[in-house]
């Protein structure tokens, strides 16, 4: 379970004797099994917010609660995927994917079974003996996703995970993430009826891309800057099917988001 609640969260950075307020006054409730996209201009504090959610940095003000308990540092069930993949070049695909489990001293047989399952799921099994340098950007990002999923997280945080990929690879990976989110949440529902016992997966995705935010967010938090804050929460009912991309509802959603971002930018520079 991973119900997240942020109250009046603010983060200041100290830099060269100055204090920079990266984010401030962030109130956000992220229900278990949610898919939340966060979008906003460069420098508005999206990454800062995500790092605070991951427990990597501690907020200067306010509180972050997960399942009712104050977040104090990193938790095992949270996975964070960054843009630069974080793969070790000297490890094979298999070993990179297994890394998180090995660090946790999981039994070898269990690691082998789990990693095989996930590499097959992500279409990487045939590449398991390759090194990151022998993979494309999209394949590397898949390995990073595999490594995170191997840990069976209940909260998956992603910071611009697909931004360096070409359009088609990017769409393909977006579809994969959507599929995994759907599977986990359908299974999660079944488990309450004595089903597979799989926990719901909550996803928080930071992106620059309006289309990506609208495709992968059941809700979309639009951020403004100075200080970084949420200026609008947008519900996105149509989200959930791969075909959503091709609907007029999707097109309208993107146009709406573009408008909110533009208005937010005007507000910041004080243009009427
Ligand atoms: N370690 C740091 N020290 C000082 N200031 C920082 C630090 N990290 C970030 N900042 C500042 O905090 C603000 C928010 O940065 P952050 O990286 O969270 O923005 P972002 O929305 O993720 O931007 P982008 O879209 O470009 O990735 C920026 O003004 C940035 O310069
Ligand atoms: Mg960032």
Burial class (CB in 10 A: 0-12, 13-18, 19+), 87: buried
- Ligand 1 atom 2, closest CA: 13
Judgement on whether residues 206 and 106 belong to the same structural domain of the protein? no
- Residue 34 placed within a domain: yes
Q: Which of the listed residues 9, 12, 13, 226 should we mutate to test ligand 1's pocket, taking the one with most ligand atoms within 8 A of CB?
A: 13
Query: Which ligand has an atom closest to residue 42 CA?
Result: 1
**Structural contact between residues 202 and 50, judged by C-beta atoms closer than 8 angstroms:** no
User: Pocket residues for ligand 1 (CB within 6 Å)?
Assistant: 13, 15, 20, 22, 40, 42-48, 208, 228
What was the pLDDT predicted at 196? 57
Give how many domains the chain has, as a whole number. 2
Q: Cα–Cα distance between 197 and 94 in angstroms, integer? A: 26
* 92 to 106, 140, 147, 169: CA distances (angstroms): 19, 11, 12, 22
| Beta bridge mates, 233 | 221
Q: How many angstroms does the Cα of residue 45 sit away from the middle of ligand 2?
A: 7
Q: Given the CA of residue 44, which atom of ligand 1 is nearest to it?
A: 21
Confirm whether 166 is domain-assigned.
Answer: yes
What's the chain's average pLDDT? 90
CB 35 within 8 A of CB 218: yes
Q: Does residue 13 sit in the same domain as residue 69?
A: yes
- Greater confidence (130 vs 152) lies with 130
Q: Residue 45 above 70 pLDDT?
A: yes
What pLDDT digit, counting tens, does each position of 165-197 carry?
888 889 988 999 999 999 988 764 544 444 556
Per-residue pLDDT tens digits for 206-258 = 999 999 999 999 999 999 998 999 999 999 999 999 999 999 999 999 999 99
> Which residue, of 152, 172, 191, is where some domain finishes?
152
Q: Of 152, 172, 198, which one is at a domain's C-terminal end? A: 152
- pLDDT > 80? residue 266: no
C-beta separation of 71 from 109 below 8 A: no
Determine, yes or no, domain membership for 271. no
What band does 263 get if pLDDT is binned at 50, 70 and 90? confident
Distance 97 CA to ligand 2 centre (A): 24
Task: Find the domain containing 175 and state its range.
Answer: 4-77+155-263
């Amino acid at each position: 379970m991973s119900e997240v609640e942020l109250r009046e969260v603010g983060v200041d950075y100290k830099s060269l004797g100055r204090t920079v307020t990266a984010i401030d006054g962030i109130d956000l409730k992220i229900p278990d099994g949610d898919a939340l996209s966060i979008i906003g201009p460069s420098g508005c504090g999206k990454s800062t917010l995500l790092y605070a959610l991951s427990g990597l940095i501690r907020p200067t003000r306010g509180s972050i609660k997960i399942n009712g308990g104050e977040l104090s540092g990193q938790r095992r069930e949270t996975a964070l995927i960054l843009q630069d993949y974080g793969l070790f070049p000297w490890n094979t695909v298999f070993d990179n994917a297994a890394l998180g489990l090995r660090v946790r001293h999981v039994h070898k047989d269990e690691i082998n079974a789990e990693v095989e399952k996930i590499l097959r799921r992500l279409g990487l099994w045939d590449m398991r003996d390759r090194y990151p340098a022998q993979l494309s950007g999209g394949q590397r990002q898949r390995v990073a996703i595999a490594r995170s999923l191997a840990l069976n997280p209940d909260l998956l945080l992603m910071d611009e995970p697909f931004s360096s990929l070409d359009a088609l690879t990017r769409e393909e990976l977006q579809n994969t993430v959507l599929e995994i989110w759907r599977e986990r949440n359908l299974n999660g529902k079944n488990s309450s009826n004595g089903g597979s016992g799989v926990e719901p997966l909550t996803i928080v995705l930071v992106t620059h891309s309006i289309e990506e935010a609208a495709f992968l967010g059941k809700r979309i938090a639009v951020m403004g800057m100075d200080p970084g804050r949420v200026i609008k929460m947008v519900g996105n009912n149509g989200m959930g099917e791969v075909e959503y991309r091709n609907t007029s509802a999707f097109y309208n959603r993107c146009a709406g988001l573009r408008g909110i971002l533009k208005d937010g930018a005007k507000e910041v520079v004080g243009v009427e």
